Amino acid sequence: MSKLAVIALGGNALLRSNQIGTIEEQELNSTETLENIVFMIKEGYNIILSHGNGPQVGNILMRNDAGESLYGVAQMPLDVCVADSQGGIGYMLERMLRNVLKKHGLQRDILTLVTQVEIDKDDPAFKNPTKRVGKAYTEAEAQKLTTEKGWIFKKSSKSEDGYRRVVPSPIPIRIFNTDTIEHIARQGVIVIAVGGGGIPVSIDEDGMVRAEEAVIDKDRASSLLASTIKADELYILTDVPYIYINFKKENEEIKEFLNVQDAEKYLKEGMFGEGSMAPKIEAAIDFVKNGGAKSVITESTKLADKKYGSKITMNYD
């Protein structure tokens, strides 16, 4: 049976930090990233792709703001904005991947699924929103929006940028349609799912699906999906080629191979950035502890070069 891999695209897979985010830039970056999974397709892997949406959903929120302030267009809630980004990015990835496969003489069907992900409406994250979304506002603008809309703001990570809206980032607990996702992926269809971590929804006391104003971490959702469908491997693509301890310090050290015990030790020691590498390590650990063979974390353009990438397994081989 062919191996099944979930590949989470993030970091510079879609957009580089020095770019403004034109569709031409994103298409070029996506193509370069997707070229790096061709070897897996040639080796017979069945593949599910997930992706981040941070810059893209931020742009959608800014268009919301501009449409409301300039033309009185009703704003859409965050869950709809996440769905919009899933569809747009999924379409772009699907089209670019079809062209990459054509170039290499390969044939696979590709299917993009707008994916809902269940979270707990009582998740502690709702009492402590931390995920920054959208543009930066002045302090006066932020206070006005808090009064008018009930939004919560925090100082931008770059102090000169002012204040940005923060929203909860709850833990994903269930992904919709996993049986179907697994079935079609194991038939050889490349599936694009849980984009941006998935659309956050909860289930009320009557069993009804309710939208939630939140965003879900893409790597956590990808790990949950990979575990649920019993994938063999999880790949998390970012903007560094390896996992490092003491990152950017004199005693910086590459960790090419890690077992779960050592990865958890370094995590507790604070070796990984809380808003950057730590969630990726946690997602990788969870996948392996739930039965996955290995997790790989590497730069989005380095996957095909097997000398790069840090591998997390249950035990050292």
Examine the residue annotation and report whether 248 is marked as an active-site residue of this protein.
Answer: no
Residue 205 domain flag: yes
Mean pLDDT estimate for the chain: 93
Q: Cα dihedral sign for 82, 85, 90, 91?
A: positive
Q: Is 127 among the residues known to form the active site?
A: no
CA nearest to 174, candidates 124, 243, 220: 220
231 located within any domain: yes
**pLDDT at residue 2 in the model:** 93
Q: Is residue 260 part of a domain?
A: yes
Q: Is residue 156 part of a domain?
A: no
Q: Is the pLDDT of residue 154 over 60?
A: yes
**Residue 276: inside a domain, yes or no?**
yes
From the candidates 52, 131, 198, 311, give the one annotated as an active-site residue. 131
Buried b (16+ CB within 10 A) or exposed e, 124-156: ebbeebebbbbbbbeeeebeebeeeeebbbeee
Choosing from 36, 218, 292, 311, the catalytic residue is: 218
Give residue 78's domain range: 4-119+177-312
Domain contains 172: no
Tally of domains in the chain: 1
In a domain, 171, yes or no: no
- Mean pLDDT of the region 38-44: 96
- Looking at residues 48-59, what average pLDDT do you find? 91
Confidence of residue 11 (pLDDT cuts 50, 70, 90): low
pLDDT computed for residue 313 by the predictor: 97
What digits encode the pLDDT tens for the residues 223-244? 999 999 999 999 999 989 999 9
| Cα dihedral sign, 88-92-30-232 | positive
CATH number at residue 10: 3.40.1160.10
Q: Is 218 marked active-site?
A: yes
Residue 212 lies in a domain: yes
Point out the catalytic residue in the list 10, 12, 134, 198: 12
Q: Which of 53, 64, 198, 280 is catalytic?
A: 280
Please give the model's pTM, rounded to 2 decimal places. 0.93
| Residue 222 · residue 283 · CB < 8 Å | yes
Set 11, 54, 195, 309: catalytic member: 11
- Residue-wise DSSP of 149-189: H--EEEE-SSGGG-EEEEE--PPEEEETTHHHHHHHHHTT-
Instruction: Give all strands (DSSP E) within the chain, no chain letters.
Output: 4-9, 46-51, 110-112, 116-119, 131-137, 152-155, 163-167, 172-175, 190-192, 199-203, 209-211, 233-238, 243-245, 253-255, 257-259, 294-299, 310-313
